[in-house]
Structure 1
Amino acid sequence: MDSKTYKSGFISIIGRPNVGKSTFLNRVIGQKIAIMSDKPQTTRNKVQGVLTTNDAQMVFIDTPGIHKPKHRLGDFMMKIAMNTLKEVDIILFMINAAEGFGRGDEFIIEKLQGVKTPVFLVINKIDQIGPDELLLLIEEYKEKYPFAEIIPISALEGNNVERLLEQILLQLPEGPQYYPADQITDHPERFIVSELIREKALHLTREEVPHSLAVLIDKMEKKDEREVVHVMATIIVERDSQKGIVIGKQGKMLKEIGQRAREDIEHLLGSKVFLELWVKVQKDWRNKMFHLRDYGFKEDEY
């Protein structure tokens, strides 16, 4: 590439819940900035991951999985996902190879009609199907939409991810470097810390619905010369029964959530962390706009 031309742009990752969008983002950026869970609806806000090379800067936006909303929080998440389509240079429509074409994909393809942005079909989890199945899948999707590129990958294994990045680079417009070279996300650290705590809580309390759990960072500060960061956070649930599950017998579950989250937070911040967790019941918070605002879902931004 001519050293004088620098390329940059915004790339939205859309798809049904649980197709591997966050796994892909973390693979590309090389550090954990989006939380991963095998439950749908884990990602709530746009998460921007920034990949900077000598000749380009790619800003990835991981959106909540597109789905038919069931409550106010669902409406809000849907609005975020659809709005990003108007703001970006490339759309990556990611599907789960093992699940094949579903009603959710049909819903997304309907939403993509009339979108002028180039859309790449990214077939993820190809390690879970055979080559013949993959070819049939490609043919099926080709008939549904005029994709600019169709690229099969395994975000978890890293297969073909480099090729996808090369194709993105070809389509990116010339542009400035938006973020400093060492910056990997535009989210404040408090947001990522809250997401890391939420990830552990979701992972360990498997029977609970992800939507009914939010994390609020009450305080985050360095208290002494030893550079220990004190983090105080509250896990918000909707019902007393959920509170009991998150705390666990003799506080064991909460302790385990805290230990696992602390390791990730220390890795993120590069310093020792003292983490204190509380659990609070806020009944039906997902349907109350003032609670949504308190927990970082700001409707007027979108």
Structure 2
Amino acid sequence: MTEKEYRSGFVSVVGRPNVGKSTLINHLVGQKVAIVSDKPQTTRHRILGVLTLPEAQIVFVDTPGIHKPRHRLGEYLVTLALGALKGVDLVLFLSEATSPPGAGDYFILEQLKKAEVPVILVLNKIDLISKPRLLPLIDLWRQEHDFAAIVPVSALTGENLERLVQEIVEHLPPGPQYFPPEVTTSQPPEFVVAELIREKVLHLTHEEVPHGVAVVVEEMASRRKDLVYLRATIYVERESHKKIIIGAGGQMLRQIGQKAREEIEAFLGKKVYLDLWVKVKEKWRRDDVALRQLGYKPEE
């Protein structure tokens, strides 16, 4: 063949909590498809982000951070993340360039060795260190595994992401476009809307409150050509958490709604009327039935 074959494939992005997996995918795809915060377990679902290039299509699978679970939700998240190592063409293993590998990194690495899939090690957050510190860290990692490539990047600033994309494409098999070129995520609009609302709760609340929050979009309907009505419920585990999210005189809930609405309007390209409610569902993170009701499906 005179022309290079088109390449495509599914690429799982794995790592410990807060290493920058969602930030990386959002930057590569060019649109927010996964919410971002500095709270552990921000990503709770297997999210597909799609990057279409003239020579290849990369379907990224964003996964929850792999951690030691403390409840049924945590068990579900780890199962989801480890399950994303199966049936993919390539894995991006994110670790922080700011520190040597720790126990969590070594646990993930052992799972990757069992998966028998090519792995690119991505050393993220190089914007936070001096470059001379990179070489000893790369040498240390090289001794741990025969990686397909080791690429230092900054998911936040975009540094070296072009090289990372080149490495990914080189390790993908020939294949078709799985999604139309304009598609950047496989998730339905209701899912993205619910996640954008949850992201604002994560940003604006503290301590245990954010971890016990789930958001369900109850209704999404066009009221006019340029207006979408959205009714969503924020579920919390305690009455005290409900009071925090509503805030004095409803101030916190209004702030959450305002910030979420701005991003939802940018995502949908239309004006939005956002109707937010807060309800208590006690200990939902420990209850299989409640988890399913809120969109999480723990494995039997």
Partner of 1:288: 287
Q: How does 1:1-302 map to 2 (within 5 A)?
A: 3=3, 5-225=5-225, 227-299=226-298
Assess, with a 3 A threshold, how the Cα gap between structure 1 residues 259 and 9 changes in structure 2: closer, same or farther: same
Q: CA deviation at 1:99?
A: 3.5
TM-score (norm 2): 0.97
CA contact (8 A) 1:42 1:210 kept: no
- The residue matched to 1:297 in structure 2 has which SS? coil
Matches of 1:131 and 1:37 in 2, distance apart? 26
> Match of 1:62, as an amino acid?
D
Matches of 1:258 and 1:52 in 2, distance apart? 33
Matches of 1:182 and 1:111 in 2, distance apart? 34
Please list every run of 5 or more consecutive structure 1 residues that lacks an aligned counterpart in the other structure. none
CA contact (8 A) 2:201 2:210 kept: no
Per-residue displacement from partner, 1:262-298 (whole Å, max 9, x unpaired)?
Answer: 0100011000000011111110001111111111112
CA contact (8 A) 1:202 1:208 kept: no
Please list every run of 5 or more consecutive structure 2 residues that lacks an aligned counterpart in the other structure. none
> Match of 1:162, as an amino acid?
E
Q: CA deviation at 1:69?
A: 1.5
Matches of 1:288 and 1:114 in 2, distance apart? 31
> Match of 1:45, as an amino acid?
H
Matches of 1:291 and 1:241 in 2, distance apart? 19
CA contact (8 A) 2:209 2:241 kept: no
Matches of 1:120 and 1:67 in 2, distance apart? 21
> Match of 1:284, as an amino acid?
K
Q: How many residues align?
A: 300
Q: CA deviation at 1:4?
A: 5.6
CA contact (8 A) 1:3 1:55 kept: no
Matches of 1:117 and 1:11 in 2, distance apart? 10
Q: Which moved more, 1:94-103 or 1:36-45?
A: 94-103
Matches of 1:270 and 1:159 in 2, distance apart? 29
> Match of 2:258, as an amino acid?
Q
Assess, with a 3 A threshold, how the Cα gap between structure 1 residues 135 and 206 changes in structure 2: closer, same or farther: same
Q: CA deviation at 1:135?
A: 1.3
Assess, with a 3 A threshold, how the Cα gap between structure 1 residues 60 and 2 changes in structure 2: closer, same or farther: farther
Q: CA deviation at 1:94?
A: 0.2
Q: CA deviation at 1:115?
A: 2.2
* Moved segments of 4+, more than 6 Å: none
CA contact (8 A) 1:41 1:210 kept: no
Matches of 1:27 and 1:35 in 2, distance apart? 12
CA contact (8 A) 1:228 1:274 kept: yes
Matches of 1:194 and 1:2 in 2, distance apart? 47
Instruction: Kindly report the root-mean-square deviation, in angstroms, between the aligned alpha carbons of the 2 structures.
Output: 1.4
CA contact (8 A) 2:125 2:153 kept: yes
Q: Which moved more, 1:261-270 or 1:2-11?
A: 2-11
Q: Which moved more, 1:276-285 or 1:206-215?
A: 206-215
> Match of 2:171, as an amino acid?
Q
Q: CA deviation at 1:211?
A: 2.6
Identity of aligned residues (%): 53
CA contact (8 A) 1:34 1:47 kept: yes
Matches of 1:234 and 1:65 in 2, distance apart? 25
Assess, with a 3 A threshold, how the Cα gap between structure 1 residues 2 and 158 changes in structure 2: closer, same or farther: farther
Matches of 1:35 and 1:99 in 2, distance apart? 25
